[in-house]
Each structure stands twice: as C-alpha cells, then as structure tokens.
Amino acid sequence: MAILALKIMKKLILIILSLIIVLLVIVFLLNPKGIYQLSDNTAKFIPQQAIPKELVSLKAEDCGVCHSEIYQEWQTSLHSKAFIDPFFTAYLKKDKGDPTYLVCHTPLLNQSPVILSSESVDYPDTWGALKSIANPDFDPELQKEGVTCAACHLKDGIIYGPYKKGSLDAPHPVAYDEKFLKKSLCQQCHEVPSKDFSLMNEGVCSTGMESNSGLWSAKGFVCQDCHMSPVTRPLMAGYPAREGRKHLWPGGYSNHQLQKVFSRP
Ligand code: HEC
Ligand code: HEC
Ligand code: HEC
Ligand code: HEC
C-alpha cells in the first residue's frame, strides 16, 4: 500500500514538473526579446547639438552663470545624477551597457561616445548585433551631467521654454514650446514601454503610465504640478520676476514628497 502511494506521488511530481517546464517555455516564447521592447513613442537620442553662438558651452554650469537658482536646484536633483547614480551604473553594467538606457540617462548625442547604426534606421529589437562608430564630437564632461539643461531646452541653436514669444529679453535666442506645460515632455523618458512579465512596470522608468491611469491625471494634473512647484522670481538677477517653476523634481527619495501622498490639496 505504502509503495503504491509512493509511486503515485512520484508520478504526480513528474506531471507537475513537466507542467512547469511547459509553462516556462510558453512564457519565454511570448517574451523572447528580453525585459522590454522599444516602441515608436520611446525617446531616441537627441541629434548632435551645436553650441549656440551666443553661449560659451552647453554645460549646465554655464547656463547657471545667469540662471543660478535653477542651476543650484537642478544640481540637487536626480536628473543631474542620471549618469553617475550608483543604482543606474550597476544596472547598466549588469545589462552590458544597453544603449536604450542611455537614451534617457544621457539624452543628447553629444553625450554618447558612440553613434549607433540605428541612428539612421529604426531601433532594432535586439541590441547584441548593433554596429556603432566612435562619435567624433563626444563630450565626456557633458555625459556626466545626465539629464542636463540642454536636453530639455535646446534644439538647433534655440532655447525653448514656457514663455510666449516676445515677452523676454534674453541674450540667447528663445522660443515658446507648449510641451513645457504638458506631460509629454516628461513622458518621452518616464514611459518606457514594457512587455508582459516585465520587471519595468513600476519605478522611475514607467511612472508616466502609473500616473496616467490615476485619479490625478483624470483631474487634469500634469507631472509639473506635483514635481516642479510654482515660484515667482527673476530668471536672472536684475530681471523682472516671472511665474516659473522650481527645478527640484522630488520623487521617492524625498520625505516632503512622500508626505504629500497622505495630504490632499
Ligand atoms: C548670459 C546669461 C545667460 C546664459 C548664459 C543663459 N541664459 Fe537663459 N536667459 C537669460 C535671460 C536674461 C533670459 C530672459 C530673462 C527675462 O526676460 O526675464 C533667459 C531666458 C531663458 C529661458 C526662457 C525661454 C522661454 O522662451 O521661455 C530659458 C528656458 C533659458 N533661458 C534657458 C537657458 C539655458 C538652458 C541656458 C544654457 C544652455 C541658458 N539659458 C543660458 C540669460 C542667460
Ligand atoms: C531625457 C529624459 C528625461 C526627461 C525628459 C525627464 N526625465 Fe525625469 N528622470 C530621468 C532619469 C534618467 C531619471 C533617473 C535618474 C536616476 O535614478 O539615475 C529621472 C528622475 C526623475 C525623478 C526623480 C525620481 C526620484 O525617485 O527621486 C523625478 C521626480 C522626475 N524624473 C520627474 C520628471 C518630470 C516631472 C519631467 C518632466 C518635466 C521629467 N522627469 C523629464 C529622465 C528624464
Ligand atoms: C498628483 C501628483 C503627481 C502627479 C500628477 C505625478 N506625480 Fe510623480 N510622484 C508623486 C508623488 C507624491 C511621488 C512620491 C511617491 C512615490 O514614489 O510613489 C511621485 C513619484 C514619482 C517618481 C519617483 C518614483 C520612484 O520609484 O522613485 C517619478 C520618476 C515620477 N513621480 C514621475 C512622474 C511623471 C513623469 C509624471 C507625469 C506623467 C508624474 N510623476 C505625475 C506625485 C505625482
Ligand atoms: C527635465 C527637463 C528639464 C531640465 C533638465 C531643465 N529644465 Fe528648465 N524647465 C523645464 C520645464 C518643464 C519648465 C517650465 C516650467 C514652467 O511651467 O514655468 C522649465 C523652465 C525653465 C526656465 C524658465 C523659468 C521657469 O522657471 O519656468 C528657465 C530659465 C530654465 N528652465 C532653465 C533651466 C536650466 C538653466 C536648466 C539646467 C540647470 C534646466 N532648465 C533644466 C524643464 C527642464
């Protein structure tokens, strides 16, 4: 009797093991391309940007000569640490320098040591076979700045911002871009698409999706409302005060931000 029970047990264990193996194979077949796949909406490297002739460099420090308060705020934010943050560097090492990470952590092509062959074509599904050539205009200093001022504000020699045309008196070309008032600016990076069974559905990379499905988004809140608090001050010493926003981007590491979760406006 005991021997019969043992035999049945053995069979059962075998059946369960085979079922698990079949399930794993199915999961693998459904998701053969790694943890996530890039969609067309995902950010790509911003093409190489020349230094506008009115400025001395693209470095945040040099913007900070005039925009000193914003520069000091940015310096304390994770955006300025996006390339040197140890959590990120550990991940980058683990995933063998996956260039998809760099598209958001060092978004300007000026910040990339290599130009990927995919810059001219579309992103392929796998990165292993990618060819790359050395980037002759690579700026290692700018690379360390991660999500730097120019990544959000500069395009083809013009500094874009939230103010309507004609209202400013700036030493560099300026233009209004409505994306500064919308969440689309943030979503190009904070909305890394993921596949089923992905580990990337939560956290810094995909907060966009999380936020979009929430109550606050339905009420019309954009990312800036909660992550860039409003402030009225001059953009540069000696200029008139204007309505703008702080460049601190508090997140999951900020006590104050976490406390806000429990207090309704
Ligand atoms: C020599 C000083 C100086 C430097 C350097 C400088 N700016 Fe400015 N910037 C100004 C002034 C002055 C204004 C307009 C202030 C006003 O009229 O209230 C301005 C306006 C702006 C605006 C508002 C644009 C708009 O239309 O909404 C942005 C954004 C901006 N600067 C970003 C930058 C960035 C990024 C850099 C570095 C790449 C930079 N600035 C470098 C002085 C400077
Ligand atoms: C070019 C890509 C890019 C853009 C655009 C961007 N971010 Fe980020 N952001 C990042 C990266 C990369 C990090 C994470 C840095 C790290 O952890 O290494 C980050 C970090 C953050 C954090 C900090 C999270 C924490 O836990 O402290 C907040 C908050 C944030 N971003 C909000 C925003 C908002 C709001 C916008 C739009 C105004 C925005 N981001 C636009 C790439 C971007
Ligand atoms: C109604 C306010 C609100 C809105 C709108 C909002 N957030 Fe947040 N966000 C928070 C709070 C509060 C936290 C801190 C609690 C947490 O980490 O979950 C946070 C956390 C984050 C983090 C850090 C996550 C982590 O794991 O450390 C990032 C990145 C972020 N938000 C980006 C965004 C982006 C991008 C948008 C727009 C698509 C957005 N948020 C919209 C309130 C908001
Ligand atoms: C992640 C994107 C991002 C980065 C990085 C960034 N900014 Fe901004 N910046 C914004 C947004 C969004 C606004 C619009 C805020 C508003 O509605 O007034 C803005 C507004 C401004 C303005 C207009 C004044 C104001 O407060 O609105 C200036 C000047 C400016 N930024 C300078 C800088 C400088 C200098 C740096 C780097 C030290 C920098 N920004 C980095 C997103 C960014």
d(CA 118, CA 145): 24
d(CA 126, CA 33): 7
Mean of the pLDDT values across residues 112-117? 78
pLDDT of residue 90: 92
Supply the residue whose CA is at minimum distance from atom 43 of ligand 3: 226
Q: Is the CB of 233 under 6 A from ligand 1?
A: no
- 153 Cα: distance to centroid of ligand 4 (angstroms): 7
d(CA 264, CA 25): 46
- Would you state the structure tokens that stand for residue 259, as one six-digit string? 């406390």
Mind listing the pLDDT tens digit for each residue in 120-158?
A: 344 444 444 556 778 899 999 999 999 999 999 999 999
| Cα within 13 Å of Cα(259), Cβ side | 3
Mind listing the pLDDT tens digit for each residue in 172-182?
A: 999 999 999 99
Supply the residue whose CA is at minimum distance from atom 26 of ligand 3: 203
Q: Is the CB of 208 under 6 A from ligand 4?
A: no
pLDDT of residue 216: 78
Mean of the pLDDT values across residues 90-100? 81
d(CA 135, CA 139): 9
More confident residue, 82 or 251: 82
User: In angstroms, how far is CA 231 from the centroid of its own chain?
Assistant: 24
In this structure, the residues whose C-beta lies within 6 A of any atom of ligand 3 are 183, 186-187, 190, 203-204, 207-208, 211, 216, 221, 223, 225-227, 251-252, 257-258, 260-261
pLDDT at 258 over 70: yes
Return the C-alpha torsion angle 65, 86, 93, 72, nearest 10: -10
Q: Is the CB of 149 under 6 A from ligand 4?
A: yes
pLDDT at 26 over 60: yes
Supply the residue whose CA is at minimum distance from atom 41 of ligand 2: 186
Supply the residue whose CA is at minimum distance from atom 30 of ligand 3: 207
pLDDT of residue 122: 45
Q: How far, CA to CA in Å, does 53 sit from each of 49, 81, 110?
A: 12, 27, 17
- Would you state the structure tokens that stand for residue 251, as one six-digit string? 């997140």
